[in-house]
Amino acid sequence: RGLARRARRGVGGVGGGVIVIDVDGCARGRGVGSRGSARRHAAFGARNVGGGGDDIAVSSPAAVNGSVVARAAPNVDGLPVKVLVEAAMLAAMTGLTFHVSSLFRFDAYFGALFPLPVVIAAARWGEKAAMRTLVVATLLLALISGPLRALNYFCLHGVLAYTLGSLWVRGSSWWVTIPVSALTRTCGILGSLAVSSLVWRENVLALLVTQMYALIDQFAAGVGATFAPTMGWVWATAMFFILINSFSYTLILHMVYTIVLSAVTGQNFVNAPPKVCRALGVSA
């Protein structure tokens, strides 16, 4: 009530300006026991003064020139409701697509589409929306597919998608995005293998290298070779092929997303070189 009287006096003094209610200051003042009660007093004061045509804005933490200010509490993430809704829809599409593809073993054919919703969120609304889409999609997959598949999506596709979106938002060229995304993909593959090893209680990567060593040994014996590969050489070969796989995968993503995001954003969001744009038939 005291705050409402102060607000009415402020309206009489300024005659149609901006009314400021210092919510944090009210929470620290006398007679108000908590921040929640301060907000209720602020809302009561705003209702009492809202009929005079004044612009009511709630501002925290400070008052303007000693007058009482009112401003609605901003969103925690600083994202508009429209952005949050679109990010939720993109996350739901990501979770459903990945879950169905994993269920029917289609993930090998649609692997290039899994990072797309996060990249679209980054192209339309920036890095915060992309991060929100990634987190919500991972949590959704943890609920409907289990934590193992959720972590596999996060390691193999989610981090790569956020990295690509962030680099493209900053205007990085392909000379930067392709090597960085290839290294991110490589780390994601190793992280996915580490998670699988932890769940299955077996070193999956070491098992794969051992099988590769046995295969090379049999091949060398079959052709009559006298040399035997060392485990260090086999490990280096395995890492080389993982890097080649990551590089080719990210290069395909760059080509596909040049076409898709040109249609979504109407511009060269992926910063493709002019020759690539002409070859793919999109505007530079």
Give long-range contacts, CB 8 A cutoff, 24+ apart: 173-179. 173/271, 173/273, 174/254, 174/270, 174/271, 174/272, 174/273, 174/276, 177/250, 177/254, 177/270, 177/271, 178/247, 178/250, 178/251, 178/254
Residue 42 to residue 276: CA distance in whole angstroms? 58
Alpha helices in the chain (DSSP H): 2-14, 23-28, 35-49, 81-103, 116-125, 127-144, 147-153, 159-169, 174-200, 204-222, 231-265, 274-280
φ, ψ for residue 215, nearest 5 deg: -65, -45
Confidence (pLDDT) at 222: 77
What SS3 class is residue 216? helix
Confidence (pLDDT) at 37: 45
Residue 91 to residue 119: CA distance in whole angstroms? 11
pLDDT along the chain (284 residues), means of 10: 46 41 42 43 42 42 41 58 92 92 83 91 92 95 91 93 94 93 94 87 84 81 74 85 93 92 87 89 79
Task: Look at the chain and count its residues.
Answer: 284
Confidence (pLDDT) at 75: 54
Residue 231 to residue 205: CA distance in whole angstroms? 13
φ, ψ for residue 212, nearest 5 deg: -65, -40
